[in-house]
Structure 1
Amino acid sequence: MKKKIWLAGAMATSLLLSACGDKSFEARDINPATDICKICNMSVAAEKYAAQVALANGDYETFDDIGCLMEYYTKTDKKQIGEAFVKDFSGDTWVNVETAIYVSDKEISTPMSYGVIAFKTKEEAQQFIDSEGKGKVITFDEVKAMDWSGHA
């Protein structure tokens, strides 16, 4: 009898601990017909510039430009953010904002003219720079340090 009670207690504890663990967040598909940028209220029509935040409460915020994402990201309590994603400019995949490789240049055309795009790998970012003849590879820390206010 004691063994059954102990086993039931161990299972209950295991379930409680797993419920309290880190929640995993995933990017969701963008719907250009209904997704509106949280900052500038424009439709998220050009996905290669899109970004999104999966909030800790399960909601999502979408953005039409990395600059709009960063305006939101830098002003929001990080406890509210589950995970943030940017669209890989050279493909169809979502990349975590912290691991993405960025290319910045005032000459790069983006929906809100912030001039920053994201790539999954440094090689893809360098290929873009080589083929377009403009841009500089920057890290997420450099992206965070940029002045994003009042641009849109």
Structure 2
Amino acid sequence: MKTSRIQGWVRGVLILCGLGLIAVLFVPMWRIDLVAPQYPEGLMLLIHPHKLAGNVDIINGLNHYIGMKTLHTEDFIEFTVLPYIIAVFAALFIIVAVVAKRKLLNGLCILFVAFGVLAMYDFWRWEYNYGHNLNPDAAIIVPGMAYQPPLIGFKQLLNFGAYSMPDIGGWIFIGVGALLLLAVFAEWKFAKKMKKNYAVATALIFLTISFSSCSVQPEPIKTGVDNCYFCKMTISDEKFGAELLTKKGKIYKFDDVHCILNYLKTKDVASENIKDIYLTDFCGSHQLVNVNQSSLLKSEILRSPMAGNIAAFDNKDSLLKMQQRYPGAMVNWSDLIK
């Protein structure tokens, strides 16, 4: 039972996230709104993955008076590399959806969260540098005043109210992160459940096999139909058959004690895996008798199919009667298998 593949709906979510990241490339990710009495309609700085937009020129003019650096897209290496990073993540989301491996999903989540944290730190660092590294020769200098915009939320900067918040691309990015975390959590829960079910199923299978192996019984030998497992000959004499039963429930049939003894020497079935051995009763209806409960007679006059010339009896009295007809010696199974 495979538990390493992610669920179908999670794969769909990953593809949706990948497409969402592609859309981020074409819309602003963040915005900073400035509101002041002299600008009742407000000023807006839009941050795209590859450029700055909005009222950049007006904001640069205001920044000049208070000593802040002017903002230019080409001054930020982030605008060069960020589109490629987003495109790579979009591709990774789709690749993980196709490959559907849970380990890759977890790895993607770690990378994406780490990138998000690093990106926010870089944004804060950019705001800090622009708000604190002021021109000492600026027209307006307020001692102890810094003009760092808020990372997110509102901050009063002189007579300007500054609002910093995600724009369309930022909200998509946040949504992708939330969906990714949800997918990882759902897969963790699913994997945990599957492992539990797998453990239960394994236990049931084990119990079933154990029960089957414990309850397996000898199977009547069909002369003229069944073949000897060792010599491959058709079992032809109903008086000399043998069977080996394994603990896993397998049954091996033989046409002569000679064949089963030679098979045991091959160690094809280890002794610890043997459940029982049965021999055909030479007398009566030729029922199978457990070898540990049988009496064995070896006589050259018996002429068994493969010249083992050993007959089994379900009791010693039957053996003694047949011994008069087939002169020979009583033998022990333990001696035969040495």
- Normalised by the length of structure 1, the TM-score is 0.74
Q: Tell me how large the CA RMSD over aligned residues is.
A: 2.1
Matches within 5 A, 1:38-77: 38-76=229-267, 77=270
Q: Confirm or deny: 8 A CA contact 1:37 1:63 kept in the other structure.
A: yes
Deviation string, structure 1 residues 53-72 (Cα, Å, up to 9, x no partner): 11222121110001101111
Query: Which among 84, 92, 98 is matched to residue 292 of structure 2?
Result: 98
Q: Deviations over 1:34-75 (max 9, x none)?
A: 311011111112121000111222121110001101111243
In the aligned structure 1, how far is the partner of 2:298 from the partner of 2:260?
Answer: 15
Q: Which moved more, 1:67-76 or 1:21-30?
A: 21-30
| TM-aligned CA deviation for residue 108 of structure 1 | 2.2
Q: Which runs of 5+ in 1 are unaligned?
A: 1-15, 146-152
Letter matched to residue 308 of structure 2: Y
Match of 1:85 in 2: 278
Partner of 2:310: 116
Are 1:144 and 2:317 an aligned pair? Answer: no
Q: Residues 125-140 of structure 1: matches in 2 within 5 Å?
A: 125-132=319-326, 134-140=327-333
Q: Could you tell me how far 1:103 is from its partner in structure 2? A: 0.4
CA distance in structure 1 between the aligned counterparts of 2:216 and 2:276, rounded to whole angstroms: 6
More helix by share: 2
- SS of residue paired to 2:337: helix
- Structure with larger RCO (C-alpha < 8 A, sep 6+): 1
* CA drift at 1:98: 2.0
Deviations 1:63-113 (A, max 9, x none): 000110111124331122221100010122211112211001233200001
- Given that 2:254 and 2:260 are in contact with CA atoms closer than 8 Å, whether structure 1 keeps it comes out as yes
- Identity between Structure 1 and Structure 2 (%): 23
Do the aligned residues in 2 keep the contact of 1:108 with 1:135 (CA within 8 Å)? no
Give the equivalent residue in structure 1 for 2:197: none
Q: Displacement of 1:120 after TM fit?
A: 0.7
Q: Could you say which structure has the larger radius of gyration?
A: 2
Deviates more, 1:114-123 or 1:33-42: 33-42
Scaled by the length of structure 2, what TM-score is found?
0.35
- Using the TM superposition, name which of 121-130 and 32-41 deviates more: 32-41
Which amino acid counterpart does residue 143 of structure 1 have in structure 2? L
TM-aligned CA deviation for residue 139 of structure 1: 1.5
Residue pair 1:50, 1:86 contacting (<8 A) in 2 also: yes
